[in-house]
Structure 1
């Protein structure tokens, strides 16, 4: 794909990378200028290029973050994959002592695995800017690092510190991937612009119709007396005042501003007012003939109708991720504690009030939230889930409230609706709500009380019809007492509560849950394998399950992995016992000796062979073993 102009620019940290990138760009017949610079110099060059029409940059590490943060423009990352480190690691493979890895981002699990397998004593130092980079290098030297590996920024400081250093270069594959990603982003933006223009034309046409053919219409003459009303307007105003024609508009509709429009001649659109207890949106348009104001036409529409139209558009634009898939029937278990929680959730589903879900990590709070939504009258509306710990303070406001057009540099044209708006007509689930920053809690409380939001940089309020479900594993009242959680917000949230029991209080539910997990990951199990699986689980009666269902899932995966190696039942129990804290071990035929050497021997050879077959790829290896990536990493580290 050939770029007609320099919408994309490549910023390389080293001359070598710049030459290789230029060769790749030339081979693909792209018009992408390449420049060598880092940090502030790179940001200044990017700023000049933006003045010439560039809006996408390609860079890596702390330079990428600096450009993106200061210029608010997309910066495609040159991915640093684990294989990029292999040439550098090979140079220090035989070096004894700790090797310092300097990077802007945390090390990948693949890189940790490679270092583990190659017996490299890895120490990672993460920095965010020039000052912290210098400090990291000095700290590494003080920690006894014998070699350093990283990018060009830390290379200079390593030289100052007298630390031998290997410069890590991005591979051609990584560079090609970054260029491809930038080109796709550019093309996607063009396609989105075309679609947005077509949608905008359609919406403008629709809005023009709404402006002048709303369900209710009232027209007044130059003296402010009612000249025209339609039947819908008469019903809205109330038949007791009929007939309306000839009456002053102030007598028919006391709170209207139509007389002000008569005086000013200025159109007023999208104004909110209440008529007979109904919230409506009104447009007041002057009738001007021969430069004289001859009257005013006002149109009214029930705000609920407008919101419904807007919600349909939002759902089409944001369909992905707005659906709740779980129902109460999907929550496995028959213990009295669980049934009581499900019954409470079912009762609360029809109520319009806020629901708070309290439960430990891994107890299934989001499953309950989705189930409540699907059992409620809002089941056909969107379900928006927000993890309050996953959003930084800087993103929290714009993501939840959205932002207006041109509210900040780099803002999307036309603005962007926030998650509260996207949840209009449905449910918004705020997981880990106890982690909301204190300074943000007042804004959230206003949304709950006023049922309206104001976009960042906007000057109008947008009514929203949402139901809030919150979840936390914290004691919110303790947070109130400690001053980290607002008391008024606590009482506003704590209307209806559901306490989700931990797995240790759910009797034999763990057996049913384990069966469903086992059936999912081992669909072709034999009857004998299933019987062995159930006998092993019986040894876990009375186990505390501190990690709840997530820990149970890990146990099922471990049992499957050990069964796949054709180990006898007693051996599986023995190995599982060694992976469990001594005070919480299942009941076995005998106390296992201390240490995990046998487990390492059994599992490591099997996992290493799978890694070899899959070329060291963690994802493919985990898929082959039918376990999660996290479980595979834990087994590698323990092995």
Structure 2
């Protein structure tokens, strides 16, 4: 083994995979060693590489999972795509009898669909190590399997069992994708390491300023000498002591307690202080680096202006929708699928690269986008969310790019900044970006490349500093092949990608999410009501959740409503079986004695349900109609009644 230090190492479970990986690495002129090893041998190899400085590995299948679990390092997966099974299907499609698929993770719905269409009788056997792999092989033979399909680990046990077997190979495209991801992660790590040592003290100081500032700001070094002031602070300090920089803080700001903070290392926040007859609120915060006090920062603001200023700022931000209220810690769930997505989002947050979120409707893509923003260095900047399907083509250009003064009839005097400008210094989240009209894709690509926008009707360019997070429930590459999405824009967007798993692939997460929603809707529920709610939700174990978390939210809201009506669990389950759109929710189930019988009761229940959903959405008619599964016209008609 070479003693040269490599940050990335490729450990291939088969010689075939290793050779193709070496070829791709040579073509890209990368310095990534490739070794062939499986399971425990791979772990031993990885531990030796870690001692030499390797911290990032690339591998496949159960070997990858064992490496990640045993070495506690980052291991990028070489994915097995559905297209990788094409040579396999050519071999097995005419075989009569049970075909056993062996893998370390569940096979995709797409693969199962192909088996169904080809009339292949298949069954999956999932394993995590050599012991469970041998047991799976024995069970497959016992089940009457006539052929096996999987990786190299299960191949040896198939040979022992005398089961004909076909090894599934990862395509060059899958290998290339894994190597690209590993290189991107390595580059991110390098950037962070280079910045950390050089900027640590300065970053800590100014981060505290950003976190605690009101109006006036004073920063001192470890000896209590003034290092930083702003203009407001300079007006507040003793004018006879100019210039202030370098002087002891007690000399320029009598009555200060900053020296006490330097000695104690304990922050003093929301303290009252009298400066020349003006009562101010002050925060005094130590700057601590490597367990050593390196200075302190103090902020001051007139008490009378605090309440009105904060109220006005918050109102304006909420009106414009510029706040990201969710953090990655708010994403509920402990399943491996959601933990992996959450960890990757946290890893990508520190970067300035574009992120693409892929997931079905209702999986929480915007929640992930807000979490990434709040975990990023841009957390104090604006977060602008745009649904590319919500704006008509006629409005899209002016909303995204803004317009200049008198650029068209009805234009606002002085012009209007677009959403790209508003997002300056922060993050712009483009939901359903796959639906972006073709005529705007070239303009959007220019924004990404040049970091500048030109308003509609304007003749000057405006520089913008934004981070883009896109989301889609579509296959963007397929859209590219269909000619609906620009290829260059796709590659510009798809720098860092996160696949958000659907709720049905998240094991028992739906129970934890349901309880969280229930607590938010009915915080005063009794322990007995909560227990009954959990019993109700247990009946939905294994539900496909086609609408994902949105569907689950609707179900929880319905259960809360029925609980308040005093229905038993059995009656609720009978009634919930009939509940889909609003009209069918309020129809009487045929054999549900004790449920609302009269039209008056049904009307009352309908009013309560509509009011609850409207209150939840702040009176937003469009959103309420979507959650009730009715049109806006129908909702308006019911409100009028």
TM-score between both structures, scaled by the size of structure 1: 0.45
**Bigger Cα Rg:** 1
TM-score between both structures, scaled by the size of structure 2: 0.45
